[in-house]
Amino acid sequence: MVRNAELEDLPFIMEIYNHSILKTTSVYSYEPHTPERIQEWYKNKLDNNFPVLVSVEDNTITGFASFGSFRNWPAYKYTVEHSVHIHPEHRRKGEAGALMKSLISLAKKSGYHSIIGGIDASNEGSILFHKKLGFKEVGLIKEVGYKFDRWLDLAFYQLML
């Protein structure tokens, strides 16, 4: 089941996101988020009319997804950038697909023209997942991030809505 996130979901969202920060290259960050930072992120999303969705299985938050501004200049207002994160014990069970399909639907209903995903270029699973949803590779920035003692390339994938 996919639904809008609520304040009570934030500790679970933080746990999933912090795992991505500490254990994967899906987030080019080093420091785990604090409860205050997650609350600020959530408030910012709601204040700007951006969705925060969660997937739920047996009353457990299994993942979350959102989108926000691609860039903060006026001419970019028709494009959003998304993120989707799944708890490691719930990957490959369909939650990411359900979350992304809901995000894409919301983006279309909101009048956006394009949705972007920035994906670590070595993340073949995420790249394949996005391609199955119709995203096309539109760019690659070489060695733009550094994490786990190696340089990371960032691939951009785009879905025209």
Structure tokens at 96: 């990411």
**141 CB-near residues (< 8 Å, 6+ apart):** 153, 154, 156
- For the stretch 42-83, pLDDT in tens is 999 999 999 999 999 988 999 999 999 999 999 999 999 999
Q: For the CA atoms of the chain, what is the radius of gyration?
A: 15
Phi, psi (5° rounding) for residue 137?
Answer: -70, 130
Is 90 exceeded by the pLDDT of residue 91?
Answer: no
Instruction: Report which DSSP code applies to 38.
Output: H
What pLDDT, on the 0 to 100 scale, is given for residue 33? Answer: 96
CATH T-level fold of 2-160: Aminopeptidase (3.40.630)
What's the rounded mean pLDDT across residues 113-118?
98
In 3D space, the residue among 108, 159, 99 whose CA is nearest the CA of residue 135 turns out to be 159
What pLDDT, on the 0 to 100 scale, is given for residue 106? Answer: 97
User: Where do the structural domains in the chain lie, given as residue ranges?
Assistant: 2-160
Is 90 exceeded by the pLDDT of residue 92?
Answer: no
What pLDDT, on the 0 to 100 scale, is given for residue 53? Answer: 98
pLDDT bucket at 94, cuts 50 / 70 / 90: confident
pLDDT bucket at 101, cuts 50 / 70 / 90: very high
- Name the pTM for this structure: 0.94
- For the stretch 132-160, pLDDT in tens is 999 999 999 999 999 999 999 999 999 99
Task: Write down the mean pLDDT value for the chain.
Answer: 96
What's the rounded mean pLDDT across residues 90-115?
94
Phi, psi (5° rounding) for residue 69?
Answer: -60, 140
